[in-house]
Amino acid sequence: MIPTEAQPILEVQALHKSFDGTPVLQDIQLTVNKGELVFLIGPSGSGKSTLLRCCNRLEEPTQGAIRVDGVDLMARDTDLNLMRQRIGMVFQQFNLYPHMTAEENVMLALRHVQKKSKEEARDIAHRELRRMGLGERLTHYPAQLSGGQQQRVAIARTLALGPLVMLMDEPTSALDPELVGSVLAVVRDLRDAGMTMVIASHEMRFARDAADRVMFLDGGVVVEQGPPEAVFGNPREERTQRFLRTVER
């Protein structure tokens, strides 16, 4: 039997995705174990965001298999709404409701999706917002928060649902440079706490320091993957070498 810590949380097998007949992802194979932090890197348009969106079926794969904690996401009888609570998604844009406070944004899905009482939802929201360093911003509206604070509210909203794995699509790309560090610090804390994560990002230095594994995509295919010290320090493929020369200038 595989030790618990080595059991895959997310399994993607032979995944293909096409838009109007144009292939965007081709034969993607990805296994993410419990507590693992996997970084997806590659040029814009390489398929990173599409891969993440396929992992919770925000995009429908053209073909392939996706399993989360052993549950087949492609099966007709799978409760996709339930499974999406177990697959947290953090987007480039924060997608907060502007007319709701930080605590109300976090409480919303707890109340309407998980049907928790107002008191329990508020307790969970306060716990996760304090975890994000936002204990003094519970009743602030998005317009009263910095971009980094808004993204941390979005992460708290995702964590409040108790996901098994978190998918993050360029979580720092909409932030001013001086605010990026606060979000990356949260990602590091989540990793240290054992959260399983797959992150598409251009933050190469952070990927080198924090990732367990790095996957380089280009043209919708996995060109190379491995530990960050191998991919960044001694890439085998010429396409990987060329990409890293470009981004590390």
190-232 per-position pLDDT tens digit: 999 999 999 999 999 999 999 999 999 999 999 999 999 999 9
* Contact assessment for residue 193 and residue 27, using Cβ atoms and an 8 Å cutoff: no
pLDDT at res. 190: 95
Contact partners, residue 27, CB within 8 Å, separation at least 6: 14, 15, 16, 221
> Which pTM does this prediction carry?
0.92
As a whole number, mean pLDDT of residues 25-49 equals 96
Tell me the CB-side half-sphere exposure of residue 28, using CA atoms within 13 A. 36
- Say which residue the tokens 């398929």 belong to: 47
List 200's β-bridge partners, or say none. 40, 169
* Contact assessment for residue 108 and residue 122, using Cβ atoms and an 8 Å cutoff: no
Angle at 45 between CA 39 and CA 47, to 5 degrees: 50
Mark 80-117 as b/e (b = at least 16 C-beta within 10 Å).
Answer: eeebbbbbbbbbbebebeeeebbbbbbbbbbbeeeebe
As a whole number, mean pLDDT of residues 154-166 equals 96
Residue 178 clears pLDDT 90, i.e. is over it: no
At 231-249, the pLDDT tens digits run 999 999 999 999 999 987 6
pLDDT at res. 200: 96
Nearest by Cα to 133 from 96, 175, 177, 188: 188
Q: Give me the count of residues in the chain.
A: 249
The two structure tokens encoding residue 42: 């590659």
As a whole number, mean pLDDT of residues 27-48 equals 96
* DSSP category for residue 5: G
Helix (H, G, I), strand (E, B) or coil at 132: coil
Other residues' Cβ atoms within 10 Å of the Cβ of residue 145:
19
pLDDT tier, 1 (very low <50, low <70, confident <90, very high otherwise): very low
Residue 14 clears pLDDT 60, i.e. is over it: yes
